[in-house]
Structure 1
Amino acid sequence: MDFLDPNKLDDTVADSANMDMAEKARIEGEIAELQACLNSATTPDQRAALQLELGRNLADLERGEQAWLACKQALDYFLRQENWGAAAECCNVLYLSDQEGSLSTLGQGVWLAVTYPINPEITVELLHHIIDDTPDDSDGAAVAAATAAFIVDVRTADHQRREDMLFFTQQMLGKVARRHSNIEDHAQFNYWIKKLELDQPDKFLVRLRNIVDVLVQEDWWFDRDELRARIPED
């Protein structure tokens, strides 16, 4: 892993508090259209997809309770259909809705996104939330950043945005290194990586599992042991 300037990390998370009126009006218009489409949806697939998009828009406007209600129904459906990618997206929106169970949904979304080969961009976004919500001196952020870099490396061989995503996750890792241990140069970074064993997936993925357990506690909405048992052996 190469060290990159952590100050160049592009923050892609929208700040709805600074959203201008035109953008709010646009999102309100999309919400009205989605609600109209929901009323005429003819299949469960259509309805769940619309609920996910509706929840995303409501979360953008910080209407968290409404976002939660819309997206939780979609999540339940996608879990039944074993559509793990869409389920992870729902978990992301439920986390962003900032409700009582949001940390639990973040943990469950991370579990799904790391366990199954879904869109790596969703996986990275979920892991980035752990970094944002973790104290600067906690190893948890380092584990999340290392996992994001690892997932992008192994899942994007044919992805058209592979180089951009590799660059972004390396920036994530560099930013965490700086805030965690005041890392400023390449030699320090390499030492930090080895010290925290962030170059050993078999070790940092176990630590990520512990982070997920702390986030979710006993509030699992699916049987992860049963799902794990059904994953084919390589």
Structure 2
Amino acid sequence: MSENTPDPYAYMAELPDGLSETEKAEFGQQLIEKKLQLERSSGADTLERARLKLDIAELLVLLERKEEAWNLAREAFDTALKNESWQDAVEACNVLYQTEQAASIPALGMGVWLAVTFPVTPELTYAMLDHVVTETPNNSDGAALAAVTTRYVIDLRANDEEHGDWSLLADNLIARVAERHSKVQDQKALDAWMDKLGLRDPQVFLPRLSQVVNAIVGDAWWFDRDELRDKLPD
């Protein structure tokens, strides 16, 4: 991977098993500073305040104050959606997922829908779809649909400089899912597996991914999808 390629795992770093006292103090100091910035900022529903709330929520997750983190990230999501800032809305869903609250899984599903539907960065879209892989049983087709969609999004959105590295990451994810799903070990078996599951045609796999997202979110949608589709760029 080139030095300039963003790390796809930056949005989904695993939390340490336990923070040291030094780390707790450092994160606590950052939390104080971010809260002061939030107090000084003006405007009830500005993106500046939403992004500060997300920064604070991420620190609260690290400090295991996850209910507080949920509340702030949820407010940030509403502001981002109101301002049609799809990237910020998906980042909020990513934080909401990591808070491990009752509605965190539906939040993941909504974040995936937004990330695939709108021109969100490949890095964040990869992170959201990788969460779906993590949450999906090994023998379910849902992980395969999520993995192949990462490659589809990268082909659409990654610039020429980054495309090769991103494609490799996506292909590795597809291979990992294929191995756990059907014990796929080589390219011939991978090709057959992709053909069998209909993973080559976006007109086939995207509607199926939509069904997976519907199952994840259920009746908990926070927005009208048809209304948001009308806001898609031409």
TM-score relative to the length of structure 2: 0.89
Q: In the alignment, which residue of structure 2 is the partner of 1:224?
A: 225
User: Residue 106 in 1 paired to residue 108 in 2?
Assistant: yes
Alignment gaps of 5+ in structure 1: 1-9
Question: The residue matched to 1:161 in structure 2 has which SS?
Answer: helix
Alignment gaps of 5+ in structure 2: 1-8
Q: In the alignment, which residue of structure 2 is the partner of 1:37?
A: 37
Percentage of matched positions with identical amino acids: 39
Q: Quickly say closer, same or farther: Cα 1:23–1:152, change in 2 above 3 A.
A: farther
Cα deviation digits, residues 71-127 of structure 1 (max 9, x gap): 111111111101111001000100111101111111110010000011111111000
Q: In the alignment, which residue of structure 2 is the partner of 1:121?
A: 123
What is the alpha-carbon distance in structure 2 between the residues aligned to residue 172 and residue 152 of structure 1? 13
CA RMSD of superposed structures (Å): 1.9
Q: In the alignment, which residue of structure 2 is the partner of 1:206?
A: 207
What is the alpha-carbon distance in structure 2 between the residues aligned to residue 228 and residue 190 of structure 1? 33
Alignment: residue pair count: 224
8 Å CA contact retained: 2:47, 2:83: no
Give the aligned residue type for 2:135. D
Cα deviation digits, residues 32-91 of structure 1 (max 9, x gap): 111111111124232111001111221233321011011111111111101111001000
Give the aligned residue type for 1:109. G
* Superposition map of 1:110-189 within 5 A: 110-158=112-160, 160-189=161-190
Cα deviation digits, residues 163-188 of structure 1 (max 9, x gap): 32221111111110000000111111
8 Å CA contact retained: 1:92, 1:106: yes
What is the alpha-carbon distance in structure 1 between the residues aligned to residue 72 and residue 18 of structure 2? 24
Give the aligned residue type for 1:72. R
Question: The residue matched to 1:13 in structure 2 has which SS?
Answer: coil
Give the aligned residue type for 1:173. I
Shift of 1:18: 4.3
* Superposition map of 1:55-66 within 5 A: 55-66=57-68
User: Residue 27 in 1 paired to residue 27 in 2?
Assistant: yes
Give the aligned residue type for 2:28. E
Question: The residue matched to 1:88 in structure 2 has which SS?
Answer: helix
Q: Quickly say closer, same or farther: Cα 1:228–1:17, change in 2 above 3 A.
A: same
Shift of 1:229: 3.2
Question: The residue matched to 2:102 in structure 1 has which SS?
Answer: coil
**Candidates 90, 93, 96, aligned match of 1:94:** 96
What is the alpha-carbon distance in structure 2 between the residues aligned to residue 161 and residue 20 of structure 1? 36
Give the aligned residue type for 1:124. Y
Give the aligned residue type for 1:87. A
Give the aligned residue type for 2:143. A
What is the alpha-carbon distance in structure 2 between the residues aligned to residue 53 and residue 156 of structure 1? 25
